[in-house]
Structure 1
Amino acid sequence: MRDSRSVLVLTNPYDVTANVVLRQLAVRRVPVVRLDPGTDLHMDASLTATYHMGEQRGALRTASREIETGGIRSVWVRRPSPYEGPQRLSGQDRRFAAEQALWGTGGILASLPNAHYINHPWNNRAAEYKARQLSAAQGCGFLVPTTVITNDPVEAREFVARQPGGAVYKPLWNTHYRVDDQPHSVWVEEVHADEITDAVSVCPHLFQSRVDKAFDARVTAVGDRLFGVRIDSPDLDWRYRQDRMTCTPVEVPESVTCAVRSYLSELLLIYGAFDFAVTAAGDWYFLECNPNGQWAWQPEEITAAIAHALADQLEKGPDT
């Protein structure tokens, strides 16, 4: 089957969040191709790109679809599997295949002519750096907790000791970690100066002044549309025990709305999941923005509205 003006969704086969949007597109009769490039191209899919005499052409073939890549209207970069190479290979052969796929397949899929990306994968990657987030947030008008990123134990201890309301530690990246061979997540935790050892010198660490918050807030942005949720949790990091948190819709202040839109423009993003700590006085402190954060865990009406907004973006394609 050959489709034109298709939406390309790059994600793994277990991504149920993507299904919420795909159902919206199906109702609208928008043709969709779902691809997990890190695995599908080792099986029954193929991708070709040709560059000749100022022209770029290409074809993507899956078990059920064949599309011309120049006709793809939108690309949703959701949660594709990493490029790890075919399982039938091992050692340096598998590493070689994985790296060639990253730079070849990844390059083609990030360079489709006239496609509308949510978000472009290179913009996603740039926006994932915590230091970049903090710098952009300050420039866009957000309130930002005082923060230091350092591998100097002395600097870290002195910083933490100076924070009158206490300090927290946050990982700079969600690195896969195991304890006793069991998956282990590193959560945001309160930290005291006397707990900081010289092990800090091994790599950069992020320490931040603790916000005396009344509640947390998540603002999901899709283009110009913002969806706010108040999160009440007994934990410092609400992600730790999500079964104990409650979520209710919340109005986003105009100052935060303006800063969110400025931030998206600055980092060239269409989508962003912003996390805030909100004080009893009503001050919204920027904590981070995940350019590809999950959103289907929110109240049903908010989840449905976000899915509708994403479907609108994917259906419309590039601005003309």
Structure 2
Amino acid sequence: MGAARPVLVVAERLDAAADMVVDQLNQRGVAVMRFDSADFPQHVSLTAGHRPTAAGWEGTLTDEHRSVRLEDVRAVYYRRPGRPLIADTVTEPYATWAQNQADAAMLNLLSALPVRWINNPHHDRIAAHKPQQLVAATRAGLRVPRSIITNDPDEARVFAKTAGGPLICKPVLGGRLDTGGDRQLMVATHRVDAADFDESVRLTAHYFQEDIPKKHEVRLVVVDGNLFGGTIIGTSEKARTDWRTDYENLQYGTTEVPDAVGAAVRRFMDSYGIVFGSFDFAVTPDDEWVFFENNPAGTWSWVENRTGLPIAAAHADYLQGSST
């Protein structure tokens, strides 16, 4: 890879956002090594050592095509990589133990590199917690929906009366239901009626919020303080409730971010020590921005593809080191 300091791109093989960032870096002549943690340890080799007088870990990361020295890395783009896969010849319980060892080694060694990150995975995990996000957003100066997490149907009914209007229910933890085979089911945000609350509420934690009236929604992508606002208008009831459930009935555009919202979003990011975030906002008929959540590893390639906003270039600026 020559003398140029490389950028590590740690992501799944099929990731459009990572593809776009790598393309931008390639256009600038920045050396890149891209790999998926799922290829470690079977197809990726890692050796790292630490001397008592050294500033950090030193060593090599190698796959079938290229090799980089850890001390030469200039930045890491860490985006939803898979977990290490252990050879089938290793049986349980040793396979799970070996996977955990490989996962910890790769994650913690990379996190120890004193370089630019989008985002450091340790910060990323904390920043992904939805209940804590509402606290951080409120402290930063953003409006958030009235919310309750409960498994008590009586408390849920009291909350519904207090909210005084329609409610939605959403997962506390994102992810998909594995229904067997190759099919996975997304648990979408959906409207609920307090008249239907019964003892089944006690079966798990439920995350209820007031249903915010929307003129449109905004997927606000933040990269190193740069704000890219993509608007989403749902033209069906499903799309207006959760736009991820009805892509065929969406209209896209761009929007300027109000100064007060932008300043609050930057404070929110600083509180977590992250430089990238993919925010979901509703804009009310009165043009008030209401924060729903931030995904610190959220999707954004479709925002650039639909709107032309230069999000990949902003990533490359930061990873290259050309941003301030």
SS at match of 1:273: strand
The 1-side partners of 2:7 and 2:73 are apart by: 6
Residues of 1 paired with 2:130 and 2:211: CA distance?
A: 17
Q: TM-score, normalising length from structure 2?
A: 0.92
What one-letter code is carried by the residue in structure 2 that aligns with 1:139? R
Residue of structure 1 in register with 2:40 after alignment? 41
Corresponding residue number in structure 1 for 2:317: 312
In the alignment, what sits opposite 2:300?
295
Paired with 1:89 and 1:197, the residues of 2 have a C-alpha distance of 47
**Aligned twin of 2:86:** 85
Q: Does the aligned pair in 2 maintain the 1:115–1:317 contact within 8 Å? A: no
Question: How far is the alpha carbon of 1:230 from its aligned partner?
Answer: 1.3
Contact 1:171 1:188 in 2 (8 A): yes
Q: Which residue of 2 aligns with 1:253?
A: 258
Tell me the matched-pair count: 317
CA distance in 1 between counterparts of 2:3 and 2:151 reads: 52
Deviation, 1:271, is 0.5
Q: Where do 1:138-287 residues align within 5 Å?
A: 138-179=138-179, 182-233=183-234, 234=236, 235=239, 236-287=241-292
Q: Secondary structure, in 3 states, of the residue corresponding to 1:230?
A: strand
Amino acid at match of 1:49: A
Q: Give the alignment of 1:45-60 within 5 angstroms.
A: 45-55=44-54, 56-60=57-61
* 3-state SS in 1 of match to 2:218: strand
Q: Measure the CA separation in 2 of the matches of 1:318 and 1:250.
A: 23
d(CA) in 2 for partners of 1:318, 1:309: 8
Percent sequence identity is 32
Cα 1:110/1:243, change in 2 over 3 Å: same
Between 191-200 and 57-66, report the one with greater CA deviation. Answer: 191-200
Gaps of 5+ in 1: none
Distance 1:247 1:145, change over 3 A: same
| 1:275 Cα deviation after fit | 0.6
Counterpart of 2:47, as a letter, is: T
Distance of 1:166 and 1:304 partners within structure 2: 34
C-alpha distance 99-179 of structure 1, shift in aligned 2 (>3 A)? closer
Cα distance in structure 1, aligned partners of 2:323 and 2:304:
30
SS of alignment partner, residue 298 of structure 1: helix
Q: Any idea what the Cα deviations from partners look like across 1:77-103, whole Å, max 9, x if unmatched? A: 112012353344343122111111122
Shift of the alpha carbon at 1:289?
0.5
- State the match for 2:10 in structure 1: 10
- C-alpha displacement at 1:43, in angstroms? 2.5
Structure 1 length as normaliser, TM-score?
0.93
For 1:155, the aligned partner's letter is: E
Change over 3 Å in CA distance of 1:169–1:111 after alignment to 2: same
Give the Å deviation of 1:261.
Answer: 0.7
**Distance in 1, Cα, partners of 2:137 & 2:191:** 23
Question: What RMSD over aligned residues (CA atoms) do the two structures have, in Å?
Answer: 1.9
Contact 2:39 / 2:84 at 8 angstroms: preserved in 1? no
Distance 1:98 1:207 in 2: 36
> Structure 1 pair 216/58, CA: closer, same or farther in 2 (3 Å)?
same
Distance 2:131 2:148 in 1: 10
Per the alignment, residue 129 of structure 1 pairs with 129
Indicate if the aligned counterparts of 1:73 and 1:318 stay in contact, CA closer than 8 A: no
SS at match of 2:278: strand
> 1 CA distance for matches of 2:319 and 2:92?
39
Q: Could you tell me which runs of 5 or more consecutive residues in structure 2 were left unpaired when the two chains were aligned.
A: none
How far apart in 2 are the matches of 1:198 and 1:54? 62
1:111 alignment counterpart: 112
SS at match of 1:52: coil
CA distance in 1, matches of 2:158, 2:66: 59
